[in-house]
Structure 1
Amino acid sequence: MDLKKLRYFVGVAEAGGFTRAGEQMNVAQSALSLHVREMEDSLGTRLLVRDRGGVTLTAAGSRLLHHARIILNQVSIAEEELTSNPKTPVGEVSVALPSGPARFMAPELLNMANERFPKVSLKIVEGMSGSVEEMMLAGRFNLAVFYTMGDDNSRYDILAEEEFCLIIPPDSPPFENVVSLDQLSAYPLAVPMNVTSVQRAVADVAKKNGILLDVRYEIDSLSTIIDMVADGKAYSILTPSAVQRETSLGLIRTAKIINPSISRSVILAANARDERSAEVAAIRGLLPKVVRQLIKDGRWQARLPQPERLRPG
């Protein structure tokens, strides 16, 4: 038996005769008759009873029809899965983004996804980086963007590198564009909660360099921290992406931290359960393109990772 013979047999059995099956399948009646006869010879049993009214199934023919339908259906499913167009995935994908970059990443991601993958529905969740990381580890999202420090990023796709800045109230010192790490202790700070990578990163570097930071407020809300700085109630230590809009409006200022600088990796994590999901793979592959476009256009003050640090997406 082969698939062609099975298809012809099913066609004749369902049509009730060779003539009608030939018309429906656009195959010569003689060819159909020959293939069915070859199957009968190969199996050593009669499958169809031919008469003037058409054909009827024998007991063996009925059993074969049952199995043939199952076989052909499974083949059809396999062909559909293996030959489906990867550029047109279908389904819902949840993506968690940190509050700062979400301001410009979300619109760009939505635009690109809608253009390239119109059948994928995106569910975007915004939160502080530490919260995003915790929820991702709990399996709450398909994909998540958050921050890590150091070089232990082998499990993730590295999207970009950011450096921290001192966030300054308008018309307040320092008035330079850079500030040394050992000067940070002079400024009362409002920073994200201790569970976030921002606080951990800055605290670790400051401690290693013998600097004691004046942390007055720990707040789990980026907008509240920015408002406090804009109102002159505190300073903060964040990355430029978190305050890009307010900086452009003149509501706050930034000074790059140097001697040493403090940087972090922006990484993309994928839920292990979604390794075979075409729609998740599509959005996972799209996110690095979103980041590159934002950096290229100057909408994100970050730098792309060095080639040797890139992970396959």
Structure 2
Amino acid sequence: MDIRQLRYFVGVVEAGSFTKAAALLNVAQSALSLHVRQLEEGFGTQLLIRDRTGVSVTASGARLLERARKILKEIQLTEAELTNTAASPSGEVTIGIPSGAARVLSGPLIEAVRSELPRVSLKMIEGMTGPLEEWMGAGRLNLAILYRTADTVGRMTILAREEFCLVVPPGEPPFEDSIALSDLHAFPLAVPMRNNNVRRSVADVVANHGCVLDVRFEVDSLSTIINMVAEGKAYSILTPSAIQKETASGQVRTVKIVDPVIIRSVVLAVNPKDERSPAVSAVRTIISNVVKRLIESHAWPAMAPDGAL
């Protein structure tokens, strides 16, 4: 048994057939068949069941598949650790980004990593903040961009500060440039679920000022919330970055919330086990630089960490 045989065996199982695996692995089908047959002869047991529809694993094959995946993963991690240096970072970095921030940050970040870190493979997971925080806590992410109120930032790096606004259907009131927090009760809202940090940021300020909100819909999908507002089914409370495209095209309007202004921090969190990873550190630096450029060019309607526009 050698590593190549394990890779081919896993490739055949995951592809579901020798033909598909040969195309994906860029190996002749006859060679794949030979290596798998040598594995079976070496172990003295059948690993795959072959038929006209493809392949499936036997009980022995299932055990080998589980072990082979672990072995190959360890080899990949070892290669990454031995070749990953500060001067030439390499490896895989997984980052979680909230849907709102992803709308302005994903494209520039992917381009910057591709250009500046050619040996780093970036995996980007987009979602609402609640699930992202859970995945970060479970160690599934190396980095995560999260939202925090001013007193809950802790040791995380502040990338930007954003102000919330009332998102209004086209042609609907209010028609002023700003609205007091105490007047928001007049508008039926579609907002994220209660475990969402965006929701908590707004709810804390509203509660502290003795105000109420008319929450009609709780939806854990940014695109669905925006569509509801554009179709006149509800209003929402979001940051300008989340609805830039829709605002520019006239699908929705924004009205600044005042008395008081609601501000949240956009922060960068790192998994403690990855603090010393050259690849993770390099991506952290790029994220900070990209966000700074976006704010300075007004591509991201937010304030710098020091409060400057």
User: How high is the TM-score relative to the length of structure 1?
Assistant: 0.70
1:212 shift after superposition: 1.2
For 1:148-227, list aligned pairs within 5 A: 148-227=148-227
Q: Is the 8 A contact 2:85 2:278 kept in 1?
A: no
* One-letter code aligned to 1:183: D
**1:44-89 deviation per Cα after TM superposition (whole angstroms, max 9, x unaligned):** xxxxxxxxxxxxxxxxxxxxxxxxxxxxxxxxxxxx979x862421
User: How far apart, CA to CA, are the structure 2 residues paired with 1:261 and 1:182?
Assistant: 11
1:235 and 2:222 correspond? no
Alignment gaps of 5+ in structure 2 = 1-80
Higher-Rg structure is 1
Match of 2:25 in 1: none
Q: Is the 8 A contact 2:188 2:235 kept in 1?
A: yes
For 1:90-105, list aligned pairs within 5 A: 90-105=90-105
User: How far apart, CA to CA, are the structure 2 residues paired with 1:281 and 1:96?
Assistant: 15
Q: Quick check: 148-157 or 248-257, which moved more?
A: 148-157
Alignment gaps of 5+ in structure 1 = 1-79, 308-313
Q: What SS does the aligned partner of 1:125 have? A: strand
User: How far apart, CA to CA, are the structure 1 residues paired with 2:228 and 2:155?
Assistant: 36
Cα RMSD after superposing both structures: 1.7
* One-letter code aligned to 1:253: R
**1:72-111 deviation per Cα after TM superposition (whole angstroms, max 9, x unaligned):** xxxxxxxx979x8624211110011000110221111111
1:128 and 2:155 correspond? no
Aligned residue pairs: how many?
227
1:208 shift after superposition: 1.4
Match of 1:137 in 2: 137
User: How far apart, CA to CA, are the structure 2 residues paired with 1:275 and 1:209?
Assistant: 39
Q: Is the 8 A contact 1:87 1:117 kept in 2?
A: no
User: How far apart, CA to CA, are the structure 1 residues paired with 2:173 and 2:119?
Assistant: 51
* One-letter code aligned to 2:219: I
For 1:1-313, list aligned pairs within 5 A: 86-306=86-306
Q: What SS does the aligned partner of 2:152 have? A: coil
Flag as ranges the 4+ runs of structure 1 deviating above 2 A.
Answer: 84-88
* One-letter code aligned to 2:152: D
Distance 1:87 1:113, change over 3 A: farther
User: Taking every aligned residue pair, what percent have the same amino acid on both sides?
Assistant: 52
User: How far apart, CA to CA, are the structure 1 residues paired with 2:82 and 2:123?
Assistant: 25
Q: Is the 8 A contact 2:96 2:126 kept in 1?
A: yes
User: How far apart, CA to CA, are the structure 2 residues paired with 1:277 and 1:202?
Assistant: 35
* One-letter code aligned to 2:214: D
Q: Is the 8 A contact 1:191 1:215 kept in 2?
A: yes
1:275 shift after superposition: 1.8
